[in-house]
Amino acid sequence: MVKIARTPKAKRPKPDLVTEFIPDDPLGPPVVGELAPPPRLTFQDEAAGIYLYQAESLEFLDRIVAKHPEGVFDAIFADPPYFLSNGGITCRNGRMVRVDKGEWDKSRGSELNHEFNVEWLRRCQRVLKPNGTIWVTGTQHVIFSVGYAMQQLGFKLLNDITWEKPNPPPNLSCRYFTHSTETVLWAAKSEKSRHTFHYALMREHGGGKQMKSVWRMMAPAKAEKRHGKHPTQKPLALVERCLLSSTDEGALVLDPFNGSGTTAVACARIRRRCVAVEMDATYLKTAQNRVTEVFEQHKLIP
């Protein structure tokens, strides 16, 4: 894990007023999703450039596209719905439980799921700067659709990272191998993109050897969940590695499915700016508390 060291105030990059185009008052009818309320800024730390929005992602992205048709983000980290909450069973804390992560995670059938993936990815591609890159996590339930959508849209696939979990829950049915990996696709906006990759830093993190595309990392520790539980929270170490390898300090990062705020927390820790979108108010509160804690802890560091 990366040491927290905040840039002294004077050196911090000026916040890009990415928020200026999303005022709190309604801007007329939403473009996508008739019932989506207008985006609401729920937290900001202007000095660090961290902004949390309660919004429906597609509608939010349409507003950014309208304001910044040439692209505004250096990187995107997206942990979208996996569409796996469909009555299956899993093992949690040694007990058999139904997989139910929320309405947002229910499958609507492979065609509609793919349509949704194409639509949010299309918008993400538009809001990326020409050399920007996107990271997308997923399991077999969603990742093939995400990869195909990326090919359809003309992204340039850079890597498929395998996140290996050393201690996965057992497979209760004993009819399959124990699921113990997730995939993280890394892609650039287009074939023409000249993407950033901090090779030397990743080599250093890899113990002096070229870092491989299989990353062995534990699921989030209890300490990462002390401000509230999210059913699909990602480890901070995973998001930090993605962003450290592909962005410079001060870069502007978007997370369209922010959940408990892992991307925003990672950005606060490694001095990237962040615009994070989530529709659930409870998760936004967790995210806000997690980000605030990073800054409060930091005040203790001389």
Write out the residues near ligand SAM by the rule CB under 6 A.
56-57, 79, 81, 104, 230, 232-234, 257, 259-260, 262, 277-280, 283
Tokens of 278: 């989530």
Q: How far apart are CA 50 and CA 268, in angstroms?
A: 7
Least distance (Å) from ligand SAM to the CB of residue 194?
Answer: 28
Least distance (Å) from ligand SAM to the CB of residue 3?
Answer: 21
β-strand pairing of 214-216 with 181-188: unpaired
| Closer CB to ligand SAM, 113 or 260, in the complex | 260
Contact of 262 with 94, CB cutoff 8 Å: no
Least distance (Å) from ligand SAM to the CB of residue 72?
Answer: 19
Q: Is 114 in a helix, a strand, or coil?
A: helix
| Closer CB to ligand SAM, 193 or 262, in the complex | 262
| Closer CB to ligand SAM, 243 or 277, in the complex | 277
Least distance (Å) from ligand SAM to the CB of residue 192?
Answer: 29
| Closer CB to ligand SAM, 11 or 98, in the complex | 98
| Closer CB to ligand SAM, 280 or 293, in the complex | 280
Which residue has the closest beta carbon to ligand SAM?
259
Q: How far is CA 62 from CA 129, 152, 222, in A?
A: 15, 20, 36
Q: How far apart are CA 258 and CA 143, in angstroms?
A: 18
| Closer CB to ligand SAM, 123 or 271, in the complex | 123
Give the CA angle between residues 14, 16, 22 to the nearest 5°: 145
Q: How far apart are CA 189 and CA 131, in angstroms?
A: 7
| Paired residues of 51 in beta bridges | 44, 275
Contact of 79 with 99, CB cutoff 8 Å: no
| Closer CB to ligand SAM, 125 or 193, in the complex | 125
Closest-CA residue to 61 (of 39, 42, 92): 39
If DSSP states are collapsed to H, E and C, what string results for 213-228? CEEECCCCCHHHHCCC
Least distance (Å) from ligand SAM to the CB of residue 205?
Answer: 21
CA atoms within 13 A on the CB side of 294: 26
Least distance (Å) from ligand SAM to the CB of residue 9?
Answer: 28
Least distance (Å) from ligand SAM to the CB of residue 191?
Answer: 28
Least distance (Å) from ligand SAM to the CB of residue 286?
Answer: 8
| Closer CB to ligand SAM, 76 or 279, in the complex | 279
β-strand pairing of 73-78 with 89-92: unpaired
Tokens of 287: 């995210």
